[in-house]
């Protein structure tokens, strides 16, 4: 059975709203993170979930440094 893959645009918009970050910035970080993960990946099933988590963590870490 094929797994449901999240819509990347929807994920990017959600992360942008949650982190108060421009959509373009989130999209760039998402694309860069996805490319990094794909380099060494053997299994791709959970990649969108892992990439979204990494993007959120990166943005939160950056926001905490500004405070």
- Mean pLDDT (whole number) for 48-63: 94
Q: How many CA atoms lie within 13 A of 54 on its CB side?
A: 17
- Domain membership of residue 41 (yes or no) is yes
- Domain membership of residue 1 (yes or no) is no
The pTM for the full model equals 0.84
- Domain membership of residue 2 (yes or no) is no
Which domain, by its residues, includes 41? 8-66
**CA–CA separation, 12 vs 31, rounded Å?**
10
pLDDT for res 1: 42
Domain count across the chain: 1
Token pair in block for residue 8: 């990347």
Token pair in block for residue 30: 């998402």
- Domain membership of residue 3 (yes or no) is no
- Domain membership of residue 17 (yes or no) is yes
pLDDT in tens, 2-44: 455 679 999 999 999 999 999 999 999 999 999 999 999 898 9
């Amino acid at each position: 059975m094929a797994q449901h893959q999240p819509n990347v645009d929807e994920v990017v918009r959600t992360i942008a709203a949650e982190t108060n970050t421009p959509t373009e910035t989130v999209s760039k970080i998402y694309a860069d993170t996805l490319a990094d993960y794909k380099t060494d990946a053997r299994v791709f099933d959970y990649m969108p979930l892992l990439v979204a988590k990494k993007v959120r963590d990166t943005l939160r870490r950056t926001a905490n440094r500004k405070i």
